[in-house]
Amino acid sequence: MLEIAIKGSKKYWIWLVVLCAVIGAGVLVYVDQFINGLMTTALSRDVSWGFYIANFTYLVGVAAGGVMVVIPFYLHNYERFHRITILGEFLAVAAIVMCLLFIIVDLGQPIRMLNVIFYPSPKSMLFWDMCVLNGYLFLNIVIGWKVLEAERNQIKPPAWTTPLIYLSIPFAIGIHTVTAYLYCGLPGRGYWLTAILAPRFLASAFAAGPAVLLLLCYLVRKVTKFDPGWEAMQTLAKIVCYALIANLFFFFCEIFVTYYSQIPGHMSHIDYLFFGLHGHNTMVPWMWTSMILMIAAAIMLVIPALRSNYTLLPYICGMVVIGTWIDKSLGIIAGGFVPSPLHHVTEYMPTIKEIMISLGIYGTGLLILTILYKLATRVKEEVRG
């Protein structure tokens, strides 16, 4: 099936070359980081995780969001999702590969990373995160590939894929739950120490994942002859709508508990994010932008006329993606680390090098996504003749 990927138009090849250039630039900068250490980043003693872990967290969400098409299709036989399920699964594959790359570039000693397997530590949430992320990646590659191959040969997928598909559902929930547990089980970090963190992560994931998928549907419609189906896209928009509202609701629950209880250790972090602390307010414009984008998008998605407006919908999805990205990437990291456990305010903004490496990883993800989507759409075009 892979032979499909090496046959393409001129535009397809130009796109691949552009991606390779972005990846190449990222690799070059990474060589510098590998040789000189993480001094190339803006990370510090007080803010010890940054842009890499932030994007990792977001992309785990995008990967988990794929389950929002798997559940309706496989558990409820929602036929309209038949065409886009494979897109959801392949999106998850690309997102998980990016997650793993973000973890690797964040390590101080990447060549030792197999120590996580040589000295397995079940008490560490990072150990479990490794297990579920790799498991989910494996499941999605196998399921996506087998189902697509079967479709190409116009036969039923092998029976053993069914239990794997069912297994992938708890795994999807699992990857984001465990990722939230990385943060919310730490005793000294008031912003993270909340039971609502995992539900909030899932809600924002189920908004962001399908929103990205919707944007990809638009793209697929434009550049291929394959049509994911407007009704399926409308259902996706409804999923984004409800998940986004749940995400906002969970956040307001957090705000209520924090500001009604008035416990300083919890308030200081949200104060920093939304109002600034001791004159430090780098995050303030970002956080309000995020809130406005998410609230506006939620309102627009609730109103049927706006949600079903073909021209408007991709813009709303863009708002959801950017809003949740700021909230979950920048917000979670900056809010968690500032102020520090000793109540010092050390701010963080990524360096150009960090951003270049991150773009390289996004380029890798897009390359994988392009190839997988090329396979999927081509097979679907073939089958429909």
Partner 1 sequence: MKKSRRSFLKVAGVSALGIGVAPALKAVATASASTPSAAVRTKAPEALEAKRWGMVIDTSKITDEIAEKIVLACHKSNNVPDFNHEPDKEKYPNTRPVNHKQELKWIWEEHFNNAFPDKEDDFLANKFKNLPFLVTCNQCKNPPCVRVCPTRATFKREDGIVMMDFHRCIGCRFCMAACPYGARSFNYRDPKPFIAKIDPAFPTRSKGVVEKCNLCAPRLAKGLQPACVEVSEGAITVGDLEDPNSEVRQLLGEKYSIRRKQELGTEPSVYYIM
Structure tokens at 237: 């928009």
Choice from 39, 219, 312, 352 touching partner 1 (CB under 8 A)? 39
Query: In the bound complex, what is the minimum distance in angstroms from residue 97's beta carbon to partner 1?
Result: 19
Q: How far apart are CA 299 and CA 324, in angstroms?
A: 15
Q: How far apart are CA 314 and CA 333, in angstroms?
A: 28
Residue 10 engages partner 1 in binding (rule: CB under 8 A): no
Residues near 249 by beta carbon (within 8 Å), at least 6 away in sequence: 203
Candidates 7-15, 69-77, 88-96, 99-107 — which segment interacts with partner 1 by CB under 8 A? 99-107
Q: How far apart are CA 173 and CA 63, in angstroms?
A: 10
Residue 110 engages partner 1 in binding (rule: CB under 8 A): yes
Residue 262 engages partner 1 in binding (rule: CB under 8 A): no
* Nearest by Cα to 41 from 356, 360, 362, 350: 350
Residue 48 engages partner 1 in binding (rule: CB under 8 A): yes
Query: In the bound complex, what is the minimum distance in angstroms from residue 52's beta carbon to partner 1?
Result: 11
Query: In the bound complex, what is the minimum distance in angstroms from residue 381's beta carbon to partner 1?
Result: 39
Q: How far apart are CA 43 and CA 351, in angstroms?
A: 9
Residue 41 engages partner 1 in binding (rule: CB under 8 A): yes
Query: In the bound complex, what is the minimum distance in angstroms from residue 12's beta carbon to partner 1?
Result: 38
Nearer to partner 1, 358 or 377 (CB): 358
Taking the CA atoms of 213, 198, 331 and 350 in sequence, report the sign of the dihedral they define: negative
Nearer to partner 1, 110 or 285 (CB): 110
Query: In the bound complex, what is the minimum distance in angstroms from residue 349's beta carbon to partner 1?
Result: 12
Residue 139 engages partner 1 in binding (rule: CB under 8 A): no
Residue 278 engages partner 1 in binding (rule: CB under 8 A): no
* Nearest by Cα to 226 from 11, 16, 116, 379: 379
Q: What type of residue sits at position 73?
A: F
- Separation of first and last alpha carbons in the chain: 17
Residue 160 engages partner 1 in binding (rule: CB under 8 A): no
Residue 125 engages partner 1 in binding (rule: CB under 8 A): yes
Q: Give the distance between the most distant pair of CA atoms in the chain.
A: 66
Q: How far apart are CA 336 and CA 304, in angstroms?
A: 37
Binding site for partner 1 (CB under 8 A): 36-39, 41-46, 48-49, 103, 106-110, 112-113, 115-128, 130-131, 134, 182-183, 185-189, 264-265, 336-337, 340-344, 346
